[in-house]
Amino acid sequence: MTLPRIPRHTRYAIVAREGTHVLRVEADHSYGNLMHRFAHDEEPGVSTRFLRWRWRVETMNMHTDITRRSGDDAPARVCVLFDLPLERLRSEDRFAVSMGRAAFDPDLPAATICYVWDSHLAPGTWLPNAFVARVMQLVLQRAPAREWKDERRDLRLDFAAAFPYESANGSFPGIAAVGVSADGDNTGARSLAFFGDVSLSAE
């Protein structure tokens, strides 16, 4: 997934590394997300709550500042898009999502969590995306690190932390898509990262 106003796209490739195959993700003044959307007949059920993956950043973009639009880049992200009904949102959020769907994408999700590898913020930091408030970001790793990091996230707990109002009734929404990304369009910088398998499971 790309944006028409950004001509340079992040490059993705499957490569051999350390006896296995991994995803190579290179951003160079670029933008682009690699997404897997779930069809209705393959959408994970509500019991699917754990997300696992491994990643490493080989070349870090040290100019990022995800608190501001001008620095809103990351060398590595994993994002979960939730199939959240609009009626579970506050009225102002319903309006914003409806306008976004009409103007940009009819499938625009009402709630997204992105796990981020950042250059400055401390791991454990939650903050909204500088462009889209309905995208909540959680910093998991901080530069520098040229080694594999294993991650396991409880999506039910993270959804409750990111969207407490929408979680008030205790129900956990379905998952519309999972994706990985890297970008350098706002900072005009380059980064290089690798991802191992990304998987969803019930336990």
- Taking residues 93-98, report their average pLDDT: 86
Please report whether residue 3 resides in a domain. Answer: no
| pLDDT confidence of residue 172 | 86
Residue 25 included in any domain: yes
pLDDT in tens, 31-43: 999 999 987 555 5
pLDDT digit string, tens, across residues 113-127? 999 999 999 999 999
What pTM was estimated for this model as a whole? Answer: 0.91
Query: Is 2 contained in some domain?
Result: no
Mean pLDDT of the chain: 90
Q: Is residue 1 part of a domain?
A: no
**Angle 76-77-82 from CA coordinates, rounded to 5°:** 170
The residue range of the domain holding 165 is 11-201
Q: Is 67 contained in some domain?
A: yes
Q: How many domains does one find in the chain?
A: 1
Beta strands 149-154 and 50-59 are antiparallel
Query: Measured between alpha carbons, how far is residue 163 from residues 1, 62, 72, 130 in Å?
Result: 25, 29, 21, 16
Lowest mean pLDDT among 68-82, 102-116, 146-160: 102-116
Q: What single string gives the DSSP state of each residue in 76-90?
A: EEEEEEEE--GGGS-
Q: What is the CATH number of the domain that holds 46?
A: 2.60.120
Residue 6 belongs to some domain of the structure? no
Q: Does residue 67 register a pLDDT over 80?
A: yes
Beta bridge partners of 28: 190
Residue 4 domain flag: no
User: pLDDT tens digits, residue range 136-182?
Assistant: 999 999 977 789 999 999 999 999 999 999 988 778 888 999 999 99
Distance CA 98, CA 85 (A): 11
Is 23 within a domain? yes
Give the whole-angstrom CA distance, residue 181 versus residue 125.
Answer: 19
